[in-house]
Amino acid sequence: MNRFAVTTKRPYNILIGEKLLGDSGTYIRECAEPCKICVVTDSKVNGLYSQVLISSLIESGFQTSKVVFPEGEHSKTISTYSNLLEALADEGLSRSDIIVALGGGVVGDLTGFAAATYLRGIRYIQIPTTYLAAVDSSVGGKTGLNLLSGKNLAGAFWQPSLVISDYKTFESLPESEMLNGVAEAIKSGMVAEQSLIDHVIKKDYAYVIERCVSIKKSIVEADERDTGMRQLLNFGHTIGHSIEKLSSFSISHGHAVAKGMVVEARAAYRMGLTETDTSTFLTDTLTSCGFDLSVPFSVDDLYRYALNDKKISGDTIAMVVPESIGKCRLHKISLSQLRNFISLGIEN
């Protein structure tokens, strides 16, 4: 097992290894006295992993309860959030208790937001069970939910107290779900470390999770509240979020980000913002990994949803542009240029 210490305002550890889930209670006892723990999970993960987790928590002296909501992005709503808050109150959780998010990015984001707001903030622990959640969403404390107008439009920065990342749990993940993690890991490589991308392709999971966590940890420590360099981690997401939303989430997050990275890289080059056209490398790499990179939406529709992007300030948007493979920078363009940017990115 490897341990990473994240030195955000409220510091925490990330544990990465194989078969950690069954010893979760022991790891949680390292940072918490016996208390009530409410495990929050989705309908799929519940049947797979909640029993082994809860047994370990009980063995370590915790008093447990469980909340389960239907799996999938359609659950990342105000109504699931509101039911979750009511359930926490019904269970009588106090400020000295803990919530555990057992699942992928949807469970982690929603549970984190509930933890950030229930009783004005209580501790929570991330136990990611998807490749995407292990390489990205379980780290950094971005929590939230979707609004009708777009992705992740309500939320809070609220760091977990511990992350337990057991990559043995990915063995039950279908290939299309593994690809969601592949896209985010390739994004991290594009932003900060070219050599990481070879390891992603070789399916060197332990190495990839550790490097992604390490890269994200450094960025989040430098910019916890996403006012500057953390926005680089949003490469491919302006268009990716629009695609996800326009598909009514039938195109999942990582698959949408893969398409978004190609569109944004191509647009940046064609608009003269980068000297190198990294979209060719991205297209080849992502296609060889198994991604469908087609974008079945119009420029106008993509533009409409892109106008909800959180990197907009006044009448400009900070786009993440890849200068080379492994190095991105933020480049502000005016909202009046954004439609043209998208158009250049989706034309073949």
Q: Rule CB under 6 A: which of 127-156 touch ligand GLY?
A: 136, 140, 142
Task: Report the largest interatomic distance among the alpha carbons of the chain, rounded to a whole angstrom.
Answer: 60
Which of ligand NAD, ligand GLY, none does 230 bind, CB closer than 5 to 8 A by kind?
Answer: ligand GLY
Check binding of 133 to ligand NAD (CB under 6 A): yes
Which of ligand GLY, ligand NAD, none does 105 bind, CB closer than 5 to 8 A by kind?
Answer: ligand NAD
Contact 271, 341 (CB under 8 A): yes
What would the x/- binding string for ligand NAD be over residues 57 to 96, using CB under 6 A? --------------xxx--x--------------------
Check binding of 224 to ligand GLY (CB under 6 A): no
Q: Rule CB under 6 A: which of 224-263 touch ligand NAD?
A: 253
Stretch touching ligand NAD by CB under 6 A, among 16-24, 62-70, 172-180, 223-231:
172-180
Q: Rule CB under 6 A: which of 270-329 touch ligand NAD?
A: none
Q: Rule CB under 6 A: which of 5-44 touch ligand NAD?
A: 42, 44
Stretch touching ligand NAD by CB under 6 A, among 12-20, 82-90, 103-111, 221-229:
103-111
* List of residues contacting ligand GLY (CB under 6 A): 136, 140, 142, 226, 230, 233-234
* List of residues contacting ligand NAD (CB under 6 A): 42, 44-45, 48, 71-73, 76, 103-107, 109, 129-130, 132-133, 136-137, 140, 142, 151-152, 169-170, 172-173, 177, 180, 184, 253
